[in-house]
């Protein structure tokens, strides 16, 4: 598994998650070194959009998020996955077939991640309002996103 973050101004490096990602690992390996500095670079209006994966919602992570004064978008428990990052993953996987071994795969993913045009990322993020509108219009059902 890899983890990555995007904003209209920057993207984090991809982070290769080895093994199971717990809340403590998410805090220590992703939030502290990657997310918080990225959000601080954006400014006080930055908002973290993650999902309801158990590591993201652990007690340790919730405490850390509060202590770090991170603004976090709240998600309903059974929300459709509207997170623009999902389309970023789709973009990575459509250019070339991935390499055969893990080392080459990670190198290829980082190269592809870095190569996604900033305009594509901005379009994904700026589409959030329309994503939410369509989700409401379809009563939470399938949308074009």
Closest CA to 88 of 17, 4, 23: 4
pLDDT of res. 89: 86
**How far lies 100's CA from each of 16, 47, 90, 106, 108, in Å?**
17, 37, 19, 11, 11
Amino acid 78: pLDDT: 66
With beta carbons less than 8 A apart as the criterion, state whether 87 and 145 touch: yes
pLDDT at 94: 75
| Confidence at residue 138, expressed as pLDDT on a 0 to 100 scale | 84
pLDDT score at 65:
97
Give the total residue count for the chain: 145
Per-residue pLDDT of the chain (145 residues; tens, 9 = 90+): 999 999 999 999 999 999 999 999 999 999 999 999 999 999 999 999 988 899 999 999 999 999 999 999 887 766 666 788 888 888 887 767 668 899 998 998 999 999 999 999 999 999 988 888 888 888 877 777 7
The dihedral over CA atoms of 104, 110, 116, 120, expressed in degrees to the nearest 10, equals 130
pLDDT at 60: 95
Query: What distance in Å separates the CA atoms of residue 71 and residue 135, rounded to the nearest whole number?
Result: 23
Can you give the pTM of this predicted structure?
0.86
pLDDT at 79: 67
Residue 43 sits at φ, ψ, to 5 deg, of 125, 180
The pLDDT score that the predictor gives to residue 144 is 77
């Amino acid at each position: 598994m890899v983890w990555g973050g995007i904003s209209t101004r920057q993207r984090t490096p991809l982070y290769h998650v080895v093994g199971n990602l717990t809340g403590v690992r998410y805090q220590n390996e992703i939030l502290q070194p990657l997310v918080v500095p990225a959000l601080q670079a954006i400014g006080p209006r930055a908002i973290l959009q993650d999902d309801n994966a158990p590591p993201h919602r652990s007690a340790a992570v919730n405490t850390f998020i509060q202590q770090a004064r991170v603004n976090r978008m709240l998600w309903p428990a059974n929300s459709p996955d509207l997170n623009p990052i999902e389309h970023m993953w789709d973009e990575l996987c459509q250019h070339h077939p991935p390499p055969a071994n893990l080392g080459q795969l990670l190198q290829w993913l980082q190269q592809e991640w870095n190569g996604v045009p900033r305009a594509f990322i901005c379009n994904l993020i700026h589409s959030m309002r329309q994503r939410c509108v369509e989700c409401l219009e379809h009563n939470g059902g399938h949308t074009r996103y």
